[in-house]
Amino acid sequence: MATAVETLDKLARRITISVPMSEVQAEVEKRLKVRAKNAKAPGFRPGKVPMKMVAAQYGYQVETEVLNDKVGNAFNSAANENNLRVAGYPRIEPKASADAPEGTIAFDATFEVYPEVKLGDLSQAEVERTITTVSDAEIDKTIGILRKQRVHYHVKGEHGAHGDGGPVQTAQNDDQVTIDFVGIIDGVEFPGGKADNYAFVLGEGRMLPEFEAATVGLKVDEAKTFPLSFPDDYHGKDVAGKTAEFTITLKKLEWAHLPELNEEFAKSLGVEDGDLTKMRADIKQNLEREVSGRAKAKTKDSVMDALVKVAELDVPKALVDQDVERLSEMTRQDMTQRGMDVKSIPFPPELFTTQAERRVRLGLILAEVVKSNNLQATSEQVKAQVEEFAQSYEDPKEVLKYYFGDRQRLAEVEALVLEENVVKYVLGLSKVTDKSVGFDELMANNQQAG
């Protein structure tokens, strides 16, 4: 039996639940008899332990289980009877025996309900739609990156099938150098300040700028001494903010040979006949697919921002707390996979509260938009999305099997399609401004966001 629903706040509610003691005792006895069939105790055969001993051993545990079941069922019934959409889990607390009807145990269930979501006028919402094109310059740049990924090095001055590296026999940007170096601070070598046969490519930024600048122009076996000031925020705390004197000796100098832009190069990228025109077309198609996905993501962010601005709702704290726990656990797992020891690292809830509150708010808004406008993902849309994913893989059939063979993976695709349905719906109603974003800016923005 449940009392009337008390309103404590905008979303907070309370129900008092009474459970007859006779029902609890009857269920406890029933479950103890089941336990007794397999109960073990010294001096007794299994199943022959006296009920008093069974009750003494399992009585408290069984009574707790029965109460949890009874109260849970009573709460669910009360919520259904009152048409309550419970957000999160209720907090169950026993009432004083004096406040409970005779022959019963009473509990207070305090909980939150889902809010009413009021959507404003979407025709007044402002949304930016990201537009980015792929030109020949982007294709050329990508081909250049692909060539650099396949670079190999030859010793400068030694003639080979690809030449000798040219007339300049000193270290230059893009050359791979092998050096010995030693650093001292106040006349003393410091840990990590010495290495032999250390190789790196000039211009890639792996070394501090002063280090690279000192290496440029050296010949093999030539040495140079120079001062180097470590930044205040340098990762090596022992030398951060200090100035060291380094001596470097160039041991080996190699020039970079990029593969020729020919049939062999095209074949290495999967173009079977080595056709360079087809290679460029494939690269353009891949770039356009990547650009399309990133542009859609930025447009979706703008749509979500617009929905948050026009919607009015109170966010259940219980749902935010649940999402904080989920984000915290995801962060722990990610850091653990990266090899970090997270046992001693604190994870204060406030680190995730803002993100969790927005996620919950958006989830409630999206659910209302979908429900009010019948924007659920159709099976045809889900199939089309999976097929689109599959196009970028060598074996599309395996990708289809990967998604359609697992209900959880398919649910993730459904969620993605649902969001796209919402984006299209909002774009069709709101004030949309096309924003042209350069290729490099689009790629850089998404890398930072990730």
CB 233 within 8 A of CB 240: yes
User: One digit per residue, pLDDT tens: the chain, 450 residues?
Assistant: 446 899 999 999 999 988 899 999 999 999 999 988 888 888 888 888 888 898 898 899 999 999 999 999 999 999 999 999 999 999 999 887 767 778 888 899 999 999 999 999 999 999 999 999 999 999 999 999 999 999 999 999 888 877 787 888 899 999 999 999 999 998 899 988 899 999 999 999 889 889 899 999 999 999 999 999 888 888 788 888 899 999 999 999 999 999 999 999 999 998 999 999 999 999 999 999 999 999 999 999 999 999 999 999 999 999 999 999 999 999 999 988 888 888 878 889 999 999 999 999 999 999 999 999 999 999 999 999 998 888 878 788 888 889 989 899 999 999 999 999 999 999 999 999 999 999 999 988 644 443
pLDDT at residue 3, as a whole number: 62
Q: What is the pLDDT of residue 208?
A: 86
Place of tokens 């925020």: 233
Bridge partner list, 41: 44
Instruction: Specify whether the backbone of 241 is left (phi greater than 0), alpha (psi in -120 to 50) or beta.
Output: left
Q: Which amino acid is at 266?
A: A
From CA 325, how far away is CA 331, in angstroms rounded? 10
- CB-side neighbour CA atoms (13 Å) of 351: 13
Query: What is the DSSP annotation of 387-401?
Result: HHHHTTSS-HHHHHH
Q: What does the angle CA 266 – CA 271 – CA 276 come to, to the nearest 5 degrees?
A: 45
The residues with which 112 forms a beta bridge, in sequence order, are 12, 87
- Which class for 123: exposed (0-12), middle (13-18), buried (19 or more C-beta within 10 A)? exposed
**Paired tokens of 424:** 């299209």
Least Cα distance to 437 among 297, 304, 285, 286 occurs for 297
| DSSP at 122 | G
Virtual torsion, Cα 200, 205, 207, 211, nearest 10 deg: 100
Domains (range + CATH), the chain: 6-113 (3.30.70.1050), 151-257 (3.10.50.40), 273-449 (1.10.3120)
Q: What is the pLDDT of residue 140?
A: 95
Count CB-CB contacts under 10 A for residue 302.
Answer: 22
Sort residue 215 into left (φ over 0), alpha (ψ -120 to 50) or beta. Answer: alpha
CB neighbours of residue 180 within 10 Å: 15
**pTM across the whole model:** 0.74
Give alpha helix (H) positions in 311-436. 317-337, 350-373, 379-390, 396-404, 407-429
Per-residue DSSP letters for 136-174? HHHHHHHHHHHHHHT-EEEETT--BTTB---S--S--TT
**129 neighbors 434 (Cβ within 8 angstroms):** yes
Question: What residues form DSSP beta bridges with 108?
Answer: 16, 93
Considering just the CA atoms, what is the radius of gyration of the chain in Å? 34
For tokens 């617009």, the residue is 306
Q: What is the pLDDT of residue 428?
A: 95
